[in-house]
């Protein structure tokens, strides 16, 4: 049942793709420049709102998963849970409040800069939307992560909720990471943005060179 559900999710997403875009890679130094100037004055309340969604987070997963709240004001993980210790060669206490590089170093070498490119584009795209419009954007990012045995497996990254400041800068993000190795064994890193307002989807890849876009 789980296997069929995973295949259906991937196939339905691909079937709706209307455009494919190539993004240039982004290294960690460039990615870290997106950091806001200061934390939000109501940070505790905003983080509490994100944590309130965790109770139902399993409904978004198609396999074993872990979640975390990214704090871009400090480039750390504000909180985390789920099967993190089973899916990464880390203990929970080594991840929570640790620098974001703790996760980056366990991404496949070919996928890390692509992940930064996808995340940068997501933040830029949503910064141009009104708050009520952002809730209609769904992300599906496929990258490879390293497990406790030192082997890479395919994972699905979903940004379930995000908080932006008045300047449109990304502050905090609730992220779900699901092991999809049972439904995906090959391919390259990619991101799909689904806009529920008109049910259109755009797929992104990342390579060296200029960004290119082509309609399907």
pLDDT tens digits along 107-140: 999 999 899 889 999 999 999 999 899 999 999 9
The pTM of the full predicted model, rounded to 2 decimals, is 0.81
Which residues does residue 55 pair with via DSSP β-bridges, in sequence order? none
Length of the chain: 216
In CATH, 2-208 is 3.30.930.10: no
* Sequence spans of domains, the chain: 2-208
Token reading at 93: 């206490």
Q: Are 25 and 58 in contact (CB under 8 A)?
A: no
Task: Spell out where 117-188 has E strands.
Answer: 137-146, 152-164, 170-179
- Grouping H, G, I as helix, E, B as strand and the rest as coil, residue 28 is helix
For residue 2, what pLDDT band results from cuts at 50, 70 and 90? very low
Token reading at 151: 């082997």
For residue 212, what pLDDT band results from cuts at 50, 70 and 90? very low
């Amino acid at each position: 049942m789980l296997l069929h559900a995973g295949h259906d999710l991937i196939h339905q997403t691909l079937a709706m793709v209307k455009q494919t875009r190539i993004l240039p890679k982004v290294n960690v130094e460039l990615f870290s420049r997106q950091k806001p100037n200061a934390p939000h004055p109501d940070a505790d309340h905003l983080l509490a709102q994100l944590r309130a969604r965790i109770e139902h987070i399993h409904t978004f997963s198609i396999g074993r998963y872990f979640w975390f709240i990214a704090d871009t004001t400090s480039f750390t993980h504000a909180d985390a849970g789920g099967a993190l210790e089973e899916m990464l060669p880390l203990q929970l206490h080594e991840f929570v409040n640790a620098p974001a590089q703790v996760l980056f170093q366990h991404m496949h070498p070919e996928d890390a800069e692509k992940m930064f490119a996808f995340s940068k584009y997501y933040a830029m795209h949503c910064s141009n939307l009104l708050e009520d419009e952002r809730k209609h954007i769904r992300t599906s990012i496929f990258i490879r992560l390293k497990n406790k045995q030192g082997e890479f497996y395919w994972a699905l990254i979903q940004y379930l909720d995000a908080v932006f400041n008045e300047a449109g800068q990304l502050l905090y993000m609730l992220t779900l990471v699901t092991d999809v190795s049972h439904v995906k064994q090959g391919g390259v890193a990619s991101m799909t943005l689904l806009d529920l307002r008109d049910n259109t989807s755009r797929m992104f890849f990342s390579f060296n060179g200029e960004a290119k876009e082509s309609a399907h």
